[in-house]
Amino acid sequence: MDIKLIALDMDGTLLNEKKEISEANRSAIKAAEEKGLHVVISTGRSMATLRDLAKSLSLKSYLVTVNGSEIWDEHGELVHRSIVENDAITWMYDLSKTHKTGYWATSTERVFFNEMPEDLTAYQWLKFGFEIEDDKARETILKELQNRGEFEITNSSLTNLEVNTMGVNKARGIEKVCGLLGITMENVMACGDSMNDMAMIKEAGLGIAMGNAQDTVKEAADWVTLSNDEDGVAEAIKKYVL
């Protein structure tokens, strides 16, 4: 396969359970870059919660953040942004209060956890997330979200729901990066573990699920590597790139 770009999820993929990037993963990424490949972080995290980790890798390519809501270039300049409208954020916030769920909301400036600003309209919003332990409540909320017909709904764990505006996902983010680089999705190897990685894993030329990935993600992938605690990213890069 002619792999020219490696797209890596962060939590549950590149990061181990201690939220660290192992030396094996760092070495494999560096070796891939030395071979001329682009290594692109593609994460549900915002730039604010990603910046230090990304900087520690000294990557020379783009960053896809907030599930594809934002794309940043190698100089830290914003290339693309897709927002969730204020009325939708207000509706989801009310929904979380109705069902007494945990929640978080990502704005262009910061992430709010189980709290919201008094004036929601003072911010531009990128994503809303629900943390729901109760399976029935999660199913009810999922149906209400789906009925609106205006959201891209995924997860980053089995107990949460992540909501972006329709059409925003990691695959579309990586596709935009490919366009900027003059390559196609066929040239991409994508690694991830959760439903918010599903689109890029399915659409990449080579989709790889982590050993710790959700079962549906493993079923959609072309190959399953080791877990995030066993340097699964390094294993995949060694096998298909190095």
Which residues does the annotation mark as catalytic? 9
Q: How many CA atoms lie within 13 A of 168 on its CB side?
A: 26
DSSP-assigned letter for residue 190: E
Q: Would the CA dihedral through 47, 97, 130, 101 be positive or negative?
A: positive
Residue 26 tokens read as 């760092």
Q: Which amino acid is at 223?
A: W
Beta carbons within 10 angstroms of residue 75's beta carbon: 5
Of 152, 45, 158, 53, the closest CA to residue 106 belongs to 45
Residue with tokens 């079923």: 219
